[in-house]
Structure 1
Amino acid sequence: MTLLPWNEINWNAPRPTETEMVESWTAIRWEHSPIDAPGLEAYLDAARAAFRGRCLAGRWRAVEYPDATAWFTTRNRHDEYGLHSQLLDSAVVRTDLAELEIPAALDRIPAGLKEEWAGALTLDGTLAALIVQGGPYDRFRGTAAQAKELASAAVHSLVGDRYEDFRVDYSGTAWTPWFWDETWDHTYVITDNGRAEVTVLCLTDTD
């Protein structure tokens, strides 16, 4: 099977029918994609320290999917298609993130995820602020500049210089029992359309 890329639009391709879209959901096959980037791991260590260990992360790649999936992703219609719902509802993600206790039923836009329009361009600053602010009891022990360096290295590990290939979605809601349902609930979903790969980062803490 030749997979259509998620970052190259075929303007001549007809829009999939509703039936084709629904049928395509069961044809997507996700596989675990190890996070083996030192820059990202160093940031995650700092995030776990700032949130008293309440930090979960994982990455998965769509290794099989029909053309209907690519039709929506190339046009940045992830919400309309329900891409992130299909990922989070997959067996591999439920296994990898078992501690997260993902609900049995998910909305098409799970967790109320909302696209951050600046995407990966400002993600390093966002992630730096996350650990500088930390949770109610702890936060990054270094300087703000050091936090920015850590976050920049993390984003470079994920993105390189392919900023245009990435979409970032965020939710500040407690969408699973794992979250404490306080001010410090964060979910980031970072979609790499160049590689059909998605990274999920969840943090929470309570006072």
Structure 2
Amino acid sequence: MDFEEDFERVVRSVFDGALTDHILDGGAYRSFPGTFFEAKELGTRLAYELFKGRPSDMWIYTCPLAWSEWFCGIVWDRTFVVIDTLEGTISLHCSTTSD
């Protein structure tokens, strides 16, 4: 895996939307049971918590590849990497599903 090739930068202003889309995609056999606006609220709340009130200090990347054996190797695999440039920390948020 090559970080520069396999991960795509996510613009901070649309990160909540990327999370919302991922939530709405559901899984192999089930869809998100809520409404679009409930998914949007979840995506927005997660982005808010990850940004810690400092979105300008964050770099976000995403990858749809199964880069670890933990993933199921299916279309719903997704990794979000949030780099906090002020605190010098990296958060990984990984999801997969086979329901």
Give the TM bin, normalised by the shorter chain. Answer: 0.7 to 0.9
Checking the alignment, whether the CA contact within 8 Å between 2:24 and 2:39 is kept in structure 1 is yes
Q: What is the CA deviation profile of residues 83-107 of structure 1, one whole-angstrom value per residue up to 9, with x for unaligned ones?
A: xxxxxxxxxxxxxxxxxxxxxxxx5
* Whole-angstrom CA distance in 1 between matches of 2:97 and 2:2: 26
Task: Give CA deviations for 1:29-85 in whole Å, capped at 9, x if unaligned.
Answer: xxxxxxxxxxxxxxxxxxxxxxxxxxxxxxxxxxxxxxxxxxxxxxxxxxxxxxxxx
Secondary structure, aligned partner of 1:195: coil
Aligned to 1:113: 7
In the aligned structure 1, how far is the partner of 2:28 from the partner of 2:21? 14
Distance in 1, Cα, partners of 2:56 & 2:71: 31
Asked whether the equivalents of residues 50 and 82 of structure 2 are also in contact (C-alpha less than 8 Å), the reply is no
Q: Any unmatched runs of 5+ in structure 1?
A: 1-106
TM-score between both structures, scaled by the size of structure 2:
0.85
Match 1:191 to one of 83, 87, 92 = 83
Task: Tell me if 1:151 matches 2:43.
Answer: yes
The answer for unaligned runs of 5 or more in structure 2 is none
1:122 aligned to which of 14, 27, 36: 14
Q: CA RMSD in A?
A: 2.1
* Gap change, CA 1:201 and 1:134, over 3 Å in 2: same
Matched, 1:142 2:34: yes
Select the structure of larger CA radius of gyration: 1
Q: Which one has the bigger strand percentage?
A: 2
